[in-house]
Structure 1
Protein backbone atom coordinates (compact mmCIF):
# COMPACT_ATOMS: atom_id res chain seq x y z
CA UNK A 1 0.00 0.00 0.00
CA UNK A 2 1.31 3.42 -0.88
CA UNK A 3 2.33 5.79 1.84
CA UNK A 4 -0.16 8.53 2.50
CA UNK A 5 1.58 11.86 2.39
CA UNK A 6 0.26 14.69 4.44
CA UNK A 7 -0.15 17.81 2.38
CA UNK A 8 0.30 21.08 4.21
CA UNK A 9 -1.76 23.96 2.85
CA UNK A 10 -0.22 27.35 3.40
CA UNK A 11 -1.73 30.79 2.73
CA UNK A 12 1.32 32.99 2.15
CA UNK A 13 -0.62 36.22 1.58
CA UNK A 14 -2.31 35.94 4.98
CA UNK A 15 1.06 36.03 6.72
CA UNK A 16 1.91 39.48 5.36
CA UNK A 17 1.61 42.38 7.78
CA UNK A 18 -0.31 44.43 5.20
CA UNK A 19 -2.92 41.69 4.84
CA UNK A 20 -3.33 41.35 8.59
CA UNK A 21 -3.68 45.12 9.00
CA UNK A 22 -6.19 45.37 6.14
CA UNK A 23 -8.30 42.57 7.59
CA UNK A 24 -8.28 44.25 10.99
CA UNK A 25 -9.25 47.64 9.52
CA UNK A 26 -12.08 46.14 7.43
CA UNK A 27 -13.34 44.25 10.47
CA UNK A 28 -13.22 47.41 12.61
CA UNK A 29 -14.99 49.50 9.94
CA UNK A 30 -17.76 46.91 9.62
CA UNK A 31 -18.29 46.88 13.39
CA UNK A 32 -18.16 50.69 13.66
CA UNK A 33 -20.76 50.86 10.89
CA UNK A 34 -23.00 48.47 12.81
CA UNK A 35 -22.69 50.56 15.98
CA UNK A 36 -23.54 53.76 14.09
CA UNK A 37 -26.53 52.09 12.43
CA UNK A 38 -27.70 50.74 15.79
CA UNK A 39 -27.55 54.26 17.23
CA UNK A 40 -29.67 55.60 14.37
CA UNK A 41 -32.07 52.66 14.66
CA UNK A 42 -32.49 52.94 18.42
CA UNK A 43 -32.48 56.73 18.54
CA UNK A 44 -34.94 57.30 15.74
CA UNK A 45 -37.10 54.20 16.05
CA UNK A 46 -40.43 56.07 16.07
CA UNK A 47 -39.44 58.30 13.16
CA UNK A 48 -38.04 55.53 10.93
CA UNK A 49 -41.20 54.69 9.08
CA UNK A 50 -40.22 52.35 6.29
CA UNK A 51 -36.54 51.94 6.93
CA UNK A 52 -36.58 49.90 10.12
CA UNK A 53 -36.36 46.62 8.24
CA UNK A 54 -33.68 47.98 5.92
CA UNK A 55 -31.51 49.15 8.80
CA UNK A 56 -31.93 45.93 10.76
CA UNK A 57 -31.14 43.95 7.61
CA UNK A 58 -28.03 46.03 6.98
CA UNK A 59 -26.89 45.55 10.57
CA UNK A 60 -27.28 41.78 10.34
CA UNK A 61 -25.57 41.55 6.95
CA UNK A 62 -22.65 43.68 8.17
CA UNK A 63 -22.28 41.44 11.24
CA UNK A 64 -22.26 38.31 9.07
CA UNK A 65 -19.69 39.91 6.77
CA UNK A 66 -17.55 40.78 9.80
CA UNK A 67 -17.55 37.11 10.79
CA UNK A 68 -16.49 36.09 7.29
CA UNK A 69 -13.74 38.72 7.16
CA UNK A 70 -12.49 37.50 10.54
CA UNK A 71 -12.23 34.03 8.96
CA UNK A 72 -10.13 35.42 6.06
CA UNK A 73 -12.96 35.06 3.53
CA UNK A 74 -12.05 37.30 0.63
CA UNK A 75 -15.33 36.79 -1.24
CA UNK A 76 -17.39 39.13 0.94
CA UNK A 77 -15.10 42.11 0.40
CA UNK A 78 -16.64 43.26 -2.92
CA UNK A 79 -20.10 42.76 -1.40
CA UNK A 80 -19.06 44.89 1.58
CA UNK A 81 -17.83 47.61 -0.78
CA UNK A 82 -21.04 47.55 -2.82
CA UNK A 83 -23.25 47.71 0.28
CA UNK A 84 -21.06 50.50 1.68
CA UNK A 85 -21.72 52.57 -1.45
CA UNK A 86 -25.46 52.20 -0.94
CA UNK A 87 -25.23 52.92 2.80
CA UNK A 88 -23.14 56.05 2.14
CA UNK A 89 -25.88 57.26 -0.20
CA UNK A 90 -28.52 56.49 2.45
CA UNK A 91 -26.47 58.45 4.99
CA UNK A 92 -26.12 61.42 2.63
CA UNK A 93 -29.86 61.44 1.97
CA UNK A 94 -30.88 60.88 5.62
CA UNK A 95 -28.62 63.46 7.28
CA UNK A 96 -30.47 66.58 6.01
CA UNK A 97 -33.77 65.00 7.03
CA UNK A 98 -32.57 64.53 10.59
CA UNK A 99 -31.20 68.07 10.71
CA UNK A 100 -34.57 69.38 9.45
CA UNK A 101 -36.34 67.55 12.30
CA UNK A 102 -34.33 69.55 14.84
CA UNK A 103 -36.96 72.32 14.90
CA UNK A 104 -40.16 72.95 16.82
CA UNK A 105 -43.21 71.05 15.66
CA UNK A 106 -41.56 67.70 15.02
CA UNK A 107 -42.00 64.69 17.27
CA UNK A 108 -38.96 64.19 19.49
CA UNK A 109 -36.78 61.14 19.05
CA UNK A 110 -34.95 59.15 21.73
CA UNK A 111 -31.67 60.73 20.63
CA UNK A 112 -31.61 64.37 19.55
CA UNK A 113 -32.35 64.75 15.83
CA UNK A 114 -29.20 66.83 15.28
CA UNK A 115 -27.14 64.05 16.86
CA UNK A 116 -28.76 61.48 14.58
CA UNK A 117 -27.99 63.74 11.62
CA UNK A 118 -24.37 63.97 12.76
CA UNK A 119 -24.21 60.18 13.05
CA UNK A 120 -25.48 59.90 9.48
CA UNK A 121 -22.80 62.34 8.35
CA UNK A 122 -20.12 60.35 10.22
CA UNK A 123 -21.39 57.20 8.54
CA UNK A 124 -20.43 58.56 5.09
CA UNK A 125 -16.61 58.71 5.54
CA UNK A 126 -16.70 55.41 7.43
CA UNK A 127 -18.31 53.81 4.38
CA UNK A 128 -15.82 55.46 2.02
CA UNK A 129 -12.98 54.00 4.10
CA UNK A 130 -14.72 50.62 4.10
CA UNK A 131 -14.92 50.72 0.30
CA UNK A 132 -11.22 51.57 -0.01
CA UNK A 133 -9.97 48.98 2.47
CA UNK A 134 -12.31 46.23 1.26
CA UNK A 135 -11.03 46.66 -2.28
CA UNK A 136 -7.45 46.76 -1.02
CA UNK A 137 -8.06 43.50 0.84
CA UNK A 138 -9.61 41.95 -2.26
CA UNK A 139 -6.50 42.81 -4.23
CA UNK A 140 -4.27 41.13 -1.65
CA UNK A 141 -5.52 37.67 -2.69
CA UNK A 142 -6.10 36.19 0.75
CA UNK A 143 -7.42 33.03 -0.89
CA UNK A 144 -4.14 31.92 -2.52
CA UNK A 145 -3.14 28.48 -1.28
CA UNK A 146 0.22 26.80 -1.65
CA UNK A 147 0.44 23.06 -1.11
CA UNK A 148 3.64 21.56 0.16
CA UNK A 149 4.67 18.15 1.29
CA UNK A 150 6.61 17.81 4.49
CA UNK A 151 9.93 16.47 3.30
CA UNK A 152 12.34 15.36 5.98
CA UNK A 153 15.67 17.08 5.60
CA UNK A 154 18.54 14.81 4.79
CA UNK A 155 21.58 15.37 6.96
CA UNK A 156 24.46 17.12 5.29
CA UNK A 157 27.36 14.89 4.35
CA UNK A 158 29.84 14.77 7.19
CA UNK A 159 27.46 16.36 9.71
CA UNK A 160 27.02 14.81 13.11
CA UNK A 161 23.48 13.26 13.33
CA UNK A 162 22.81 14.79 16.77
CA UNK A 163 23.61 18.30 15.57
CA UNK A 164 21.53 18.22 12.38
Structure 2
Protein backbone atom coordinates (compact mmCIF):
# COMPACT_ATOMS: atom_id res chain seq x y z
CA UNK A 1 0.00 0.00 0.00
CA UNK A 2 1.53 3.30 -1.11
CA UNK A 3 0.93 6.69 0.44
CA UNK A 4 -0.55 9.14 -1.99
CA UNK A 5 1.59 12.25 -2.22
CA UNK A 6 -0.25 15.51 -2.63
CA UNK A 7 1.18 18.47 -4.53
CA UNK A 8 -0.30 21.91 -4.02
CA UNK A 9 -0.33 24.03 -7.15
CA UNK A 10 -1.11 27.72 -7.55
CA UNK A 11 -2.37 27.98 -11.13
CA UNK A 12 -2.91 31.75 -11.06
CA UNK A 13 0.73 32.38 -10.14
CA UNK A 14 1.91 30.69 -13.33
CA UNK A 15 0.08 33.14 -15.59
CA UNK A 16 2.16 35.79 -17.36
CA UNK A 17 -0.26 38.53 -16.27
CA UNK A 18 0.14 37.55 -12.60
CA UNK A 19 3.92 37.50 -12.86
CA UNK A 20 3.92 40.91 -14.58
CA UNK A 21 1.58 42.37 -11.97
CA UNK A 22 3.71 41.03 -9.13
CA UNK A 23 6.87 42.50 -10.69
CA UNK A 24 5.16 45.84 -11.26
CA UNK A 25 3.85 46.06 -7.69
CA UNK A 26 7.31 45.22 -6.37
CA UNK A 27 8.89 47.85 -8.60
CA UNK A 28 6.36 50.50 -7.59
CA UNK A 29 6.86 49.76 -3.89
CA UNK A 30 10.64 50.03 -4.25
CA UNK A 31 10.43 53.21 -6.36
CA UNK A 32 8.15 54.67 -3.68
CA UNK A 33 10.72 53.81 -1.02
CA UNK A 34 13.49 55.44 -3.07
CA UNK A 35 11.47 58.63 -3.58
CA UNK A 36 10.54 58.79 0.11
CA UNK A 37 14.18 58.25 1.07
CA UNK A 38 15.24 61.15 -1.15
CA UNK A 39 12.67 63.44 0.46
CA UNK A 40 13.46 62.20 3.97
CA UNK A 41 17.24 62.45 3.70
CA UNK A 42 17.23 65.62 1.61
CA UNK A 43 14.79 67.45 3.84
CA UNK A 44 15.73 65.95 7.21
CA UNK A 45 16.79 69.27 8.78
CA UNK A 46 13.54 71.06 7.93
CA UNK A 47 10.98 68.29 8.32
CA UNK A 48 8.74 69.08 11.23
CA UNK A 49 6.61 66.21 12.52
CA UNK A 50 6.79 64.03 9.44
CA UNK A 51 10.04 62.20 10.22
CA UNK A 52 8.43 59.34 12.10
CA UNK A 53 5.65 58.97 9.53
CA UNK A 54 8.10 58.88 6.63
CA UNK A 55 10.35 56.33 8.33
CA UNK A 56 7.30 54.20 9.16
CA UNK A 57 6.09 54.37 5.56
CA UNK A 58 9.51 53.37 4.25
CA UNK A 59 9.70 50.37 6.59
CA UNK A 60 6.12 49.29 5.91
CA UNK A 61 6.63 49.52 2.14
CA UNK A 62 9.78 47.41 2.40
CA UNK A 63 7.93 44.81 4.47
CA UNK A 64 5.08 44.79 1.95
CA UNK A 65 7.57 44.37 -0.91
CA UNK A 66 8.97 41.32 0.88
CA UNK A 67 5.51 39.77 1.22
CA UNK A 68 4.53 40.57 -2.37
CA UNK A 69 7.74 38.87 -3.52
CA UNK A 70 6.46 35.74 -1.74
CA UNK A 71 3.09 35.97 -3.53
CA UNK A 72 1.20 37.20 -0.45
CA UNK A 73 -2.02 38.63 -1.78
CA UNK A 74 -3.21 39.93 1.59
CA UNK A 75 -0.89 42.94 1.67
CA UNK A 76 -2.16 44.30 -1.66
CA UNK A 77 -5.27 46.07 -0.27
CA UNK A 78 -3.13 47.46 2.56
CA UNK A 79 -0.63 48.77 -0.01
CA UNK A 80 -3.47 50.43 -1.93
CA UNK A 81 -4.89 52.02 1.23
CA UNK A 82 -1.51 53.34 2.34
CA UNK A 83 -0.87 54.62 -1.18
CA UNK A 84 -4.10 56.63 -1.01
CA UNK A 85 -2.92 58.25 2.22
CA UNK A 86 0.51 58.91 0.75
CA UNK A 87 -1.07 60.66 -2.26
CA UNK A 88 -2.84 62.99 0.17
CA UNK A 89 0.35 63.62 2.19
CA UNK A 90 2.36 64.30 -0.96
CA UNK A 91 -0.27 66.60 -2.45
CA UNK A 92 -0.29 68.64 0.75
CA UNK A 93 3.53 68.68 0.99
CA UNK A 94 4.35 69.90 -2.54
CA UNK A 95 3.21 73.52 -1.95
CA UNK A 96 5.16 73.58 1.32
CA UNK A 97 8.37 72.63 -0.47
CA UNK A 98 7.69 75.24 -3.15
CA UNK A 99 7.12 77.93 -0.49
CA UNK A 100 10.39 76.93 1.18
CA UNK A 101 12.22 77.58 -2.12
CA UNK A 102 11.85 81.35 -1.52
CA UNK A 103 14.25 83.61 0.37
CA UNK A 104 13.95 83.77 4.13
CA UNK A 105 13.47 80.04 4.66
CA UNK A 106 16.09 77.60 5.90
CA UNK A 107 17.19 75.47 2.97
CA UNK A 108 17.32 71.68 3.24
CA UNK A 109 20.40 69.78 2.10
CA UNK A 110 18.71 69.16 -1.28
CA UNK A 111 17.16 72.22 -2.94
CA UNK A 112 13.52 72.68 -1.91
CA UNK A 113 12.43 72.90 -5.55
CA UNK A 114 13.98 69.50 -6.24
CA UNK A 115 12.27 68.06 -3.17
CA UNK A 116 8.97 69.52 -4.40
CA UNK A 117 9.47 67.76 -7.74
CA UNK A 118 10.37 64.45 -6.08
CA UNK A 119 7.37 64.77 -3.77
CA UNK A 120 5.15 65.48 -6.78
CA UNK A 121 6.53 62.33 -8.47
CA UNK A 122 5.31 60.29 -5.51
CA UNK A 123 1.69 61.04 -6.51
CA UNK A 124 1.58 59.26 -9.91
CA UNK A 125 3.67 56.39 -8.55
CA UNK A 126 1.12 55.85 -5.78
CA UNK A 127 -1.79 56.04 -8.22
CA UNK A 128 -0.13 53.32 -10.31
CA UNK A 129 0.51 51.30 -7.13
CA UNK A 130 -3.18 51.51 -6.22
CA UNK A 131 -4.22 50.25 -9.65
CA UNK A 132 -1.72 47.41 -9.89
CA UNK A 133 -2.25 46.31 -6.27
CA UNK A 134 -5.97 45.98 -6.92
CA UNK A 135 -5.29 44.18 -10.19
CA UNK A 136 -3.06 41.71 -8.32
CA UNK A 137 -5.70 41.21 -5.65
CA UNK A 138 -8.26 40.34 -8.32
CA UNK A 139 -5.91 37.79 -9.89
CA UNK A 140 -6.45 35.46 -6.91
CA UNK A 141 -2.83 34.53 -6.25
CA UNK A 142 -4.00 32.51 -3.24
CA UNK A 143 -5.99 29.85 -5.15
CA UNK A 144 -4.60 26.38 -4.42
CA UNK A 145 -5.31 23.11 -6.18
CA UNK A 146 -4.37 19.80 -4.59
CA UNK A 147 -3.21 17.15 -7.00
CA UNK A 148 -2.15 13.59 -6.25
CA UNK A 149 1.23 12.57 -7.63
CA UNK A 150 0.90 9.80 -10.19
CA UNK A 151 3.73 7.30 -9.78
CA UNK A 152 2.68 5.20 -12.75
CA UNK A 153 1.26 1.66 -12.59
CA UNK A 154 1.44 -0.04 -9.25
CA UNK A 155 3.86 -2.95 -8.93
CA UNK A 156 1.44 -4.97 -6.78
CA UNK A 157 -1.18 -5.14 -9.52
CA UNK A 158 -1.18 -8.35 -11.56
CA UNK A 159 0.56 -8.00 -14.91
CA UNK A 160 -1.34 -9.01 -18.03
CA UNK A 161 0.02 -12.17 -19.67
Instruction: Pick the TM interval, shorter chain.
Output: over 0.9
Counterparts in 2 of 1:126-141, with a 5 A limit? 126-141=125-140
Report the equivalent of 2:143.
144
Report the equivalent of 1:94.
93
Report the equivalent of 1:113.
112
Matches of 1:32 and 1:152, distance apart in 2? 47
Q: 1:80: how far off?
A: 0.1
C-alpha RMSD of the superposition: 0.9
Report the equivalent of 2:47.
48
Matches of 2:96 and 2:122, distance apart in 1? 15
CA offset digits 1:72-120 (Å, max 9, x no partner): 0000000000000000110000001001100110001010000000011
Q: Structure 2 unaligned runs (5+)?
A: 154-161
Report the equivalent of 2:66.
67
Matches of 1:111 and 1:5, distance apart in 2? 63
Q: 1:5: how far off?
A: 1.6
Q: 1:46: how far off?
A: 1.0
Report the equivalent of 2:12.
13
Matches of 1:118 and 1:153, distance apart in 2? 63
Give the total of aligned pairs: 153
Q: 1:49: how far off?
A: 1.1
SS of 1:47's partner is: coil
Q: What's the TM-score once normalised by structure 1's chain length?
A: 0.91
Q: What's the TM-score once normalised by structure 2's chain length?
A: 0.93
Report the equivalent of 1:84.
83
Matches of 2:66 and 2:30, distance apart in 1? 10
Q: 1:4: how far off?
A: 2.2
Q: 1:3: how far off?
A: 3.3
SS of 1:46's partner is: coil
Q: 1:153: how far off?
A: 4.2
